[in-house]
């Protein structure tokens, strides 16, 4: 059965993903099962998406109820779930307004468009340059890959969009040297996810904010991976004493249903007037109801705090592992967005760990990334760390 599925998939689907040879069929909490009945502890969680775990009964019930009521109309009309969700989000952060879309790339696309339009509306037509970071990841659409500081993502799609340039993350002098009166925005992830779980140095994000303010540029934070509690706060920028002008969210917002959001201050959001931007599906009643329930559960169960506590436990265990294994170069991350960088390629470990019942993934070729559901138990962490200990020997 699984062989037939894999064979067919490889024949009829675009070959953009090199999939691991298992067919996943169902999940519960931090566990998933394949069609051969094998069980895996999920330290990927759909890449920082299913933060409440799989098949959460309240999400399942919410989605079922809403599906029986109203799935989609159009953004030509008001709906209750979308309004409620926007209200909840603006209450929880710096932003005054939300634009809903369907993915991370679309949220960043909206952020880029908004930032450019903000200055165009003021007659500052030269001010369209966006500076982002080397090793960043902002998505796969033409604009977002143009903003992504990784050659491998842009390769083959030239010419990319003009007006984007890159500086090394955590290098404040490099940023200072390029920000000028043509800079529209500085766009960055508070912690680089795909780039290898790279945290900002102390004071870095505050200095970025200062440079933006001094030069009249906007600060865009891509919290698509870091947001929604994963790092120990609802939004990662809360750790660092800064607020952006624009923030993007997606991944964990609705625990697996596709939704993205671009949030901005009133002043900046004003550039998105009637007709300036649109999407058919953005913030449908169905996904919005799932996102509302996700936020409620995160609040009730204090999951950001749990991510912080369990993340510290996980980090300690990984640091102890590093002391034992010289092949581990660094342990990085915050909360439950963690990675270990090896002194050697790490991608070969992924199938080995899978064979032993753990889903993890590898970024940048040498870093194992751990983004389990925020409900992960210490016991499950112990099991993974024990397995890593064996495997690294
Ligand atoms: C995943 C991710 C994106 C892209 O999101 P998609 O939903 O895959 O388009 C953008 N930025 C960051 C930081 C991400 O982690």
Q: What is the pLDDT of residues 202-235, one digit of tens each?
A: 999 999 999 999 999 999 999 999 999 999 999 9
Domains of the chain, by residue range, sit at: 60-300
Residue 251 is a catalytic residue: yes
**Mean pLDDT, residues 62-86:** 98
Q: How far is CA 293 from CA 102, 287, 344, 390, in A?
A: 17, 10, 42, 39
pLDDT of residue 161: 97
The number of beta carbons lying within 10 Å of the beta carbon of residue 270 is 15
Cβ–ligand 1 contact at 232 (below 6 Å): no
Task: Say how many Å lie between the CA of residue 12 and the centre of ligand 1.
Answer: 25
Residue 180 is a catalytic residue: no
Q: What is the 3-state secondary structure (H, E, C) of the chain?
A: CHHHHHHHHHHHCCCCCCCCCCCEEEEEECEEEECCCCEEEECCHHHHCCCCCECCHHHHHHHHHHHCCCCCCCCCCCCHHHHHHHHHHHHHCCCCEEEEECCHHHHHHHHHHHHHHHHHCCCCCCCCEEEEEECCCCCCCHHHHHCCECHHHHCCCCCCCCCEEEECCCCHHHHHHHCCCCEEEEEECCCECCCCCECCCCCHHHHHHHHHHHHCCEEEEECCCCCCCCCCCCCHHHHHCCCCCEEEECHHHHECECCEEEEECHHHHCCCCCCCCCCCCCCCHHHHHHHHHHHHHHHHCCHHHHHHHHHHHHHHHHHHHHHHCCCEEEEEEECCEEEEEECCCCCCHHHHHHHCCEECEEECCCEEEECCCCCCCHHHHHHHHHHHHHHHC
pLDDT band for position 245 (50/70/90)?
Answer: very high
Is 230 within 8 Å of 252 (Cβ atoms)?
yes
State the closest ligand 1 atom to the C-alpha of 194, by its place in the atom list counted from 1. 15
Task: Say how many Å lie between the CA of residue 225 and the centre of ligand 1.
Answer: 7
State the closest ligand 1 atom to the C-alpha of 106, by its place in the atom list counted from 1. 9
The residue whose CA has the least distance to atom 5 of ligand 1 is 104
Cβ–ligand 1 contact at 103 (below 6 Å): yes
**Mean pLDDT, residues 270-274:** 97
pLDDT digits (tens, 9 = 90+) for 319-331: 999 999 999 999 9
Active-site option among 42, 99, 128, 222: 222
Mutate to test the pocket of ligand 1, among 47, 50, 100, 105 (most ligand atoms within 8 A of CB): 105
The residue whose CA has the least distance to atom 15 of ligand 1 is 225
pLDDT band for position 200 (50/70/90)?
Answer: very high
- Give which of 110, 320, 309, 318 is closest to 220, Cα–Cα: 110
Is 185 within 8 Å of 220 (Cβ atoms)?
yes
- Distance between CA atoms of residues 243 and 206, nearest Å: 9
For the record, the structure tokens of 280 come out as: 């058919």
- For domain 60-300, the question of CATH label 3.40.640.10 is answered with yes
pLDDT band for position 1 (50/70/90)?
Answer: confident
pLDDT of residue 254: 98
pTM of the model: 0.98
Task: Say how many Å lie between the CA of residue 261 and the centre of ligand 1.
Answer: 12
State the closest ligand 1 atom to the C-alpha of 141, by its place in the atom list counted from 1. 9
Cβ–ligand 1 contact at 258 (below 6 Å): no
| 367-370/337-342 β-pairing | antiparallel
- Give which of 328, 326, 329, 368 is closest to 346, Cα–Cα: 368
Active-site option among 43, 128, 137, 314: 137
Task: Say how many Å lie between the CA of residue 386 and the centre of ligand 1.
Answer: 31
Average pLDDT, rounded, for the chain = 98
Task: Say how many Å lie between the CA of residue 23 and the centre of ligand 1.
Answer: 24
Residue 137 is a catalytic residue: yes
């Amino acid at each position: 059965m699984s062989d037939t599925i894999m064979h067919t998939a490889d024949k009829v689907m675009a070959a953009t993903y090199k999939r691991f040879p298992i067919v996943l069929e169902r999940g519960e909490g931090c566990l998933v099962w394949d069609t051969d009945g094998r069980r895996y502890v999920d330290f990927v969680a759909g890449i920082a998406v299913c933060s409440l775990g799989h098949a959460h009964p309240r999400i399942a019930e919410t989605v079922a109820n809403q599906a029986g009521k109203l799935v989609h109309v159009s953004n030509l009309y008001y709906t209750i779930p979308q309004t409620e969700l926007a209200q909840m989000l603006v209450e929880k952060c710096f932003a005054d307004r939300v634009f809903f879309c369907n993915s991370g790339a679309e949220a960043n696309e909206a952020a880029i468009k908004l930032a450019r339009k903000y200055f165009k509306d003021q007659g500052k037509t030269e001010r369209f340059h966006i500076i982002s970071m080397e090793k960043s990841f902002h998505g796969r659409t033409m604009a977002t890959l143009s903003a992504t500081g990784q050659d491998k993502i842009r390769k083959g799609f030239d010419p990319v969009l003009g007006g984007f340039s890159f500086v090394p993350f955590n290098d404040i002098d490099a940023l200072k040297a390029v920000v000028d009166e043509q800079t529209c925005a500085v766009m960055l992830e508070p912690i680089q996810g795909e780039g290898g779980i790279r945290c900002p140095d102390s004071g870095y994000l505050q200095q970025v904010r200062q440079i933006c303010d001094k030069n009249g540029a906007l600060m865009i934070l891509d919290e698509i991976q870091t947001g929604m509690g994963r790092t120990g706060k609802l939004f990662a920028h809360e750790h660092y004493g800064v607020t952006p002008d624009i923030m993007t969210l997606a991944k964990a917002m609705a625990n697996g249903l596709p939704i993205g959001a671009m949030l901005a201050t009133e002043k900046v959001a004003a550039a998105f007037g009637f007709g300036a931007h649109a999407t058919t599906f953005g913030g449908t009643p169905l996904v919005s109801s799932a996102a509302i329930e996700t936020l409620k559960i995160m609040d009730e169960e204090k999951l950001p705090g749990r991510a912080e506590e369990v993340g510290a436990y996980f980090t300690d265990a990984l640091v102890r592992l590093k002391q034992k294994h010289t092949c581990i170069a660094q342990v990085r991350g915050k909360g439950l967005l963690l990675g270990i960088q090896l002194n050697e390629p790490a991608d070969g470990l992924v199938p080995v760990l899978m064979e032993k019942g753990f889903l993890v993934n590898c970024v940048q070729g040498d870093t194992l990334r751990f983004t389990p559901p925020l409900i992960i138990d210490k016991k499950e962490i112990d099991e993974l760390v024990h397995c890593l200990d064996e495997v690294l020997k």
